Amino acid sequence: MVMGMGEVPAGWGQIVTIAIMALALGMDAFSLGVGIGMKGIRLLHVLQMSLLIAFFHVLMPLLGLVTGSYVGHLLGRVAGIAAGVLLVALGGHMVLGSFRTGEGAAMRGVDHRTLWGMLLISLSVSIDSFSVGVSLGVFVSNVLLTVLAFGACGGLMSISGLLLGRHVSRGLGEYGEALGGAILLGFGLLFIF
């Protein structure tokens, strides 16, 4: 079958959705990266932390996708609405969190130069991607593409945030987290309605 000029393959909508959500989740890593970068960070630590964030941005949504797929099979249409509510809650939390001063009370005492500190920071930034993975597990068919997109965006956005944090103001990171939250909130509303 030959497609016409204006036709888009059915999978393109899913690919665009995954790309936008990966960027939205990457904004959280970017935001935290800006805050950490402003405190000062060596280039070796930038690379190590970004690789850890990329790893957790693959692992957490993968676990979420498996969970969401299972729940989707059990609940049917209700799972789509639940996925939307989860994204709205997560997006709202990210938007509200962006208005807090500083980079969050939980991360203030964590030393980003130690292995345990990097692991804790990387995991904390990636927890949101588990929830999004659960939501996406209801309708996503290409798991490999999804987790690779999340990992690539998480890693690249964290590198960008860490490096830019050394050179720019704190406000850029806060706006990035708010933007990412707004995108997830919008997708959640689309899932519900």
Where does the pLDDT of residue 175 fall: very low under 50, low under 70, confident under 90, or very high at 90 and above? low
10-19, 21-30, 148-157 — which one is most confidently predicted on average? 148-157
First to last CA, the chain: 32
Distance CA 110, CA 117 (A): 5
* Contact assessment for residue 65 and residue 146, using Cβ atoms and an 8 Å cutoff: yes
Determine the average pLDDT of the residues in 29-56. Answer: 87
pLDDT reported for residue 6:
39
CB 138 within 8 A of CB 72: yes
CB atoms within 10 A of CB 127: 13
- Its pTM surpasses 0.85: no
Residue range 13-30: mean pLDDT, rounded: 85
Residues 50 and 158: beta-carbon distance below 8 Å = yes
